[in-house]
Structure 1
């Protein structure tokens, strides 16, 4: 059963009771990574294995996301700063325990590629916070695998565009 979460602002990425922050490097340029994150929402299942469906809602101001295993999210886009940041707040979910959730993707040029920082900011009762903290290694692995997969897809697209 889906339920509404507490609305939070962008500052929640820094002030949440649980903040899981992960970083990874991509060979792809920030503009390509940003397009995949913010403009090709429906493409997320191709590179983020945990995601089974993603689609824009409300004319692009929101997203519907479904994870493998049945967890669903209705989200509001909080920041869409080209080549720099993409953030969204979960407004409604069927995930147990969570009271507030915001995710932020920060992109920083790194040589000819991109440094990607993903912040998973959440609030909930003590058992939820403990479970989320225990899930940190798995979330980190999922993130790093997603970035590697995305980077491979973007490299393939780049070479496709260079072919005559």
Structure 2
């Protein structure tokens, strides 16, 4: 069932044994991107294909997330700094292997749009680190697809499903 992970702090995004960092430019403004990430969490499945459910818990201080394939996460929001940073650590998961996981979304103005940087910080045994490194390409494609779909949603004006 669910396993408890190490309760890391925000500095883990910079100090984790494994860090995967992805960036992509968007046309949408940082305020709109931040709102979609941090405040409209139930809409994540509409634009992030790997996510099947995402809901806030503990009055917005945490989230419960389900991914395709059955992986589940219970998370604690560590940073909700509009419109520049949204970060959360995974406290519990049914995924085997990780000892600690944290994800950080950094948003920077880029002209009239936003430069998005997503960091996945992890710790676990060598086989998990190897698997994550090998899966970097797939994670990158998932990130690029998600950001592209989110940008379409945010710039279409109609907020139509991804």
Shared fold (TM-score, shorter chain, > 0.5): yes
Q: In 1, Cα distance between the equivalents of 2:65 and 2:156?
A: 25
Aligned to 1:89: 89
Query: What is the SS of the residue equivalent to 2:63?
Result: strand
Q: Quote the RMSD (CA, aligned, Å).
A: 0.9
Question: Which whole-Å deviations, capped at 9, do the CAs of 1:42-84 have from their partners, x for residues lacking one?
Answer: 0000000000000000000000000010000000000000010
Aligned to 1:38: 38
Q: In 1, Cα distance between the equivalents of 2:22 and 2:156?
A: 25
| Aligned residue pair count | 159
Aligned to 2:3: 3
Aligned to 1:14: 14
Q: In 2, Cα distance between the equivalents of 1:42 and 1:99?
A: 27
Question: Which whole-Å deviations, capped at 9, do the CAs of 1:1-27 have from their partners, x for residues lacking one?
Answer: 111000000000000000000000000
Q: In 1, Cα distance between the equivalents of 2:12 and 2:112?
A: 31
Q: In 2, Cα distance between the equivalents of 1:60 and 1:76?
A: 9
Gaps of 5+ in 1: none
How far is 1:138 from its partner? 0.3
Q: In 2, Cα distance between the equivalents of 1:8 and 1:93?
A: 15
Normalising by structure 2, what TM-score?
0.97
Gaps of 5+ in 2: none
Aligned pairs for 1:1-164 (under 5 A) are: 1-157=1-157, 160=158
How far is 1:155 from its partner? 1.1
How far is 1:156 from its partner? 1.6
Query: What is the SS of the residue equivalent to 1:37?
Result: helix
Question: Which whole-Å deviations, capped at 9, do the CAs of 1:88-145 have from their partners, x for residues lacking one?
Answer: 0000000110000000000000000000000000000000000010000000000000
Normalising by structure 1, what TM-score?
0.96
